Structure 1
């Protein structure tokens, strides 16, 4: 393909289009699994040899407003984040509200080796940490070679 046919450099046009699209959609994760926009709370899921660790980032939620349950291999974190605007201020007008307010629910599928009888949850500094123990049969173990 030549410049004479298109009248311009096609790759320069594509690069310009990509820069414009990045400007419009800038800040988004490069991986579709890296972020789910509109979901609250954001979560991290990891594992150790002994447990599956889930951290839900939920600043502004009170400990008593969380509900954590486990059923058929699904861990559910639900609750509600209340407004910081008090009801006794009717004369105040909101010009913008970017902070999520309302009920939320996140469901995490646990691996097969998760033990629903070994669950601990704790809330500190805006983070809900849930630890789900693994069954003994699913833990890694060293095998002696004879």
Structure 2
């Protein structure tokens, strides 16, 4: 969690302090990226299914460490992106009063959660003792806390 916060602080400071990119530009780029929903959803489903298939093939060939490393990489990346998207949602609501979840149709957090589930399934293929709840609880919290924050801030913050 601390490494996610540190990495996100570095990215935010690089974007907004060092590069001096306007907030509106980053917000519009995120919304434009997620606006092509069919392509984004298709890529996420193909990546998740491909990860499960590759993990199964690697485990059949005896390459357990490669399959485990690949699934851990996708799990870590999807958890970080869920955290970053949630923090970006709260940040852009505070700065621009723009609802990033509503502008993107709530699809990117769902797709990242889908990738996380496929990474967990890929790890279960390699290691049947891999815990299911340990990565899922932070992921659900990363998806829910920005929405709750925006609701409470819009009701009591102004």
Shorter-chain TM band:
under 0.3
Tell which has more relative contact order, 1 or 2 (C-alpha 8 A, sep 6+). Answer: 2
- TM-score scaled to structure 1, two decimals? 0.23
- TM-score scaled to structure 2, two decimals? 0.22
Q: Would you tell me which structure has more helix in proportion to its own residues?
A: 2
Instruction: State which structure, 1 or 2, has the greater radius of gyration over its C-alpha atoms.
Output: 1
